[in-house]
Amino acid sequence: MLDIQSIRKDFPILSHTVYDKPLIYFDNAATTQKPRQVVEKIENGYYNVNANIHRGVHFLSQAATEAHEEARKTIQRFLNARSSNEIIFTRGTTESINLIASSFTDAFMEEGDEVIISEMEHHSNIVPWQIQAARKGISLKVIPITEKGELCMDTYRSLFSERTKLVSVAHISNVLGTINPVKEVIEIAHQHDVPVLLDGAQAVPHTKVDVQALDADFYVFSGHKIYGPTGIGVLYGKEDWLDKLPPYQGGGEMIATVTFEKTTFNELPFKFEAGTPDYIGSTALAEAIHYVEQLGIEAIAAHEDELLRHASKRLEAIEDVRIFGQSVHKSSVLSFLIGDIHHYDMGMLLDRLGIAVRTGHHCAQPLMKAFGIEGTVRASFAFYNTKEEIDTFIAGIERVKTMF
C-alpha cells in the first residue's frame, strides 16, 4: 500500500490551485509531474557536478562522466538489459523511434520491404516510417484493432510476408490504455525472423518491463513520462542489432578517429550519441527511476488499477457515455465522450473546475478515424492521484452535462 498523502508532498505542483480550485492533474499520459528529488538532482548537477563529460581529465569532468555512466547502468538494471552498451540516451521516444527508422531502414531495407505497425500507434510511431517510405520506397502494413481496442492478432499473423523486415508497436496505447500482448507479438515476429521495436512510452511508468524476458529487439521510452525531466529518453537495443546499425547523427563523441578522408565510429553506446549528451538529464532520469523503484512498480500498478476501476465504474454510470478502450488488460488511461458534448468544451469546462484532462486526437489521428470520431476527453492517472479526485472529476462531468 502506498502512502499517497505523504507521496504527494514530494510533488509541490500538486498543492497548487487553478482558478481558486485545488489542481486535479489527470494529464499524466502526456507528461508526469516531478518529485522534489528529481528537481534537486538537476539543481545539484548544475551547481556541483557540471562539466562536459568523457573528454576531460579534470576532477569535475570525471565526476560528471561517472554520474552519466552510472545513470546508464540504472536504466540497464531497470529494463534488465544484458549490458549498459545496449542503453542509448536520446531526447525521448520520438527521437528513439526516428533513430531506428532511419538507421534500420538504411542498413536492412530495400524498396518494397515492409514494416508492420498498428492502428493504435502514436504519430511518432507512424510518421518516421512514412518518411522512410518516401525516401526509400518501403511500405507500411497496419494491424487493425477490435471494437474493444485490442490488436487483431489473427490479422497480425497474416500480415507477414518475405518482405517484412520489422514490427513496431506500442506496448501500451496512450489513448485506449490497452496493454498489448507484446510477448506474443514478439514470438510471432521472431517465428518469421523479424525483429520488434516496442514503444514503451506509456508502459514503463505503469508496469515492470524486462527486455530479456520479452525478448524485445528494441524498446524505447521518454523520461518525462516516468517522473523524470523533459528532453531525455532511452533507446534499448540488443547489442547484436545496434552493432550492425549505422550511426544516426554525426559529430563529437560518436567517432573513434576523424580525418578528412575517412572517419571511424566509436563503439556502443557512444556511436549513437553524437554531441554533448544531456548528462544532467540522464542523472535526473536515473533519480526518477530510483523514486519509482522505491515505491515499487507493483504497488504503483495496483494503486493505478484501483483508480482506473473506480473511475471506470463511476463514468460508466453516467448516461450517454462512450468509453474508448475496453480491454481487460488496461492501464490507467480513460478516453471518453459524453453524448454530443464536444471533447474540447468538456476539457475547457473541467479546466475551470481545476481539473486538467487532455482533449483532442492525442497524436493518434488514424485511431480516431477507426472509431469514426474527431477526438476524445482523456483522463490519465498516476500513483499520486486519489479516489477523491476522481469523485470530484465525476461531479465536474455531471455539472458540465447539465450545462448542455
Query: Which residues are known to be catalytic?
Result: 363
In order, the DSSP letters of 352-374 are HTTEE-EEE-TT-HHHHHHHT-S
Of residues 8 and 123, the one with the C-beta less far from ligand PMP = 123
Angle separating helix axes 127-136 and 93-108, nearest 10 degrees: 30
Of residues 160 and 324, the one with the C-beta less far from ligand PMP = 324
User: Would you count residue 122 as binding ligand PMP (CB under 6 A)?
Assistant: yes
User: Would you count residue 94 as binding ligand PMP (CB under 6 A)?
Assistant: yes
User: Would you count residue 358 as binding ligand PMP (CB under 6 A)?
Assistant: no
Spell out, one character per residue from 33 to 72, where the chain touches ligand PMP: x when CB under 6 A holds, - when not: ----------------------------------------
| Residues in Cβ contact with 56 at an 8 Å cutoff, skipping those fewer than 6 apart | 62, 64, 65
Distance CA(355)–CA(334), nearest Å, equals 14
User: Would you count residue 124 as binding ligand PMP (CB under 6 A)?
Assistant: yes
List the grid coordinates of 390: 476522481
Burial classification of residue 121, based on how many CB atoms lie within 10 Å of its CB (0-12 exposed, 13-18 middle, 19 or more buried): buried
Closest CA to 351 of 100, 85, 25, 76: 25
Of residues 363 and 370, the one with the C-beta less far from ligand PMP = 363
User: Would you count residue 217 as binding ligand PMP (CB under 6 A)?
Assistant: no
Which of residues 115, 145, 170, 185 is near ligand PMP by CB under 6 A?
Answer: 170
Stretch in the footprint of ligand PMP (CB under 6 A) among 42-50, 92-100, 297-305, 388-396: 92-100
User: Would you count residue 380 as binding ligand PMP (CB under 6 A)?
Assistant: no
User: Would you count residue 201 as binding ligand PMP (CB under 6 A)?
Assistant: yes
Closest CA to 97 of 130, 143, 142: 130
Given the C-alpha cell 520479452, which residue does it identify? Answer: 214
Closest CA to 355 of 334, 325, 329: 334
Enter the DSSP assignment of 330: B
User: Would you count residue 114 as binding ligand PMP (CB under 6 A)?
Assistant: no
User: Would you count residue 98 as binding ligand PMP (CB under 6 A)?
Assistant: no
List the interface residues with ligand PMP, window 266-305 (CB under 6 A).
Answer: none
Which of residues 27, 113, 114, 199 is near ligand PMP by CB under 6 A?
Answer: 199
User: Would you count residue 222 as binding ligand PMP (CB under 6 A)?
Assistant: yes
Given the C-alpha cell 528529481, which residue does it identify? Answer: 38
Q: How many residues bind ligand PMP (CB under 6 A)?
A: 14
List the grid coordinates of 344: 474540447
Residues in contact with ligand PMP by CB under 6 A are: 29-30, 92-94, 122, 124, 170, 174, 199, 201-202, 222, 363
